[in-house]
Structure 1
Amino acid sequence: MLVRDGETVPGSLHARGALVARAGDRPHLARDPAGPVPELSGGDTVADAVERLRHKRASLALVRDVPGRLTGMVGLDDLLARLPHPAAS
């Protein structure tokens, strides 16, 4: 899940992280256990995007256009499905 704070996206939160935070004794804001969200540009290749998400250990990334406007998000699973698969032998 993406966590928004007005016009900014301070992070993403996995459902497991939300459950762990809720199990504690004190109240938490959604952004407290959220991890950073990598950003991609529309011109990044699929391979570069996959590498960036793996390096950041993230499953979601934001996509921005050249002026920096948020245009969408993409998941690691969606990117991996776009990579060419070697022919089965």
Structure 2
Amino acid sequence: MDRTPNFQPAVYLMANHKGGTIYVGVTSDLSKRAWQHREGVVEGFTSRYGCKRLVWFELHSTMEHAISREKQIKGGSRKDKIALIEAGNPDWRDLFFGLNS
């Protein structure tokens, strides 16, 4: 397993605006991955739907736990995803800018 200095498994949700399209992802470097979504450097769902706002994330001790949680969230309803976001971020603020502070 590649253990880079920024290795921190995380599950995250990106959105295009409050109440908009939601993307669920998993990564080992949240800051880098969120930046990639914001800049549209990777073709796919987030660039197609403009999901550039990091609205929720959860850190995990291992990638296995993060992947398991990602699958659980993906299997849930849209209502469940919105509840996750709004429990800690009711205004759907972009959390990207607070990641490295």
TM-score range, shorter chain: 0.3 to 0.5
- TM-score normalized with structure 2 length: 0.32
> Which structure: larger Rg?
1
- TM-score normalized with structure 1 length: 0.35
User: Per residue, is there more helix in 1 or in 2?
Assistant: 2
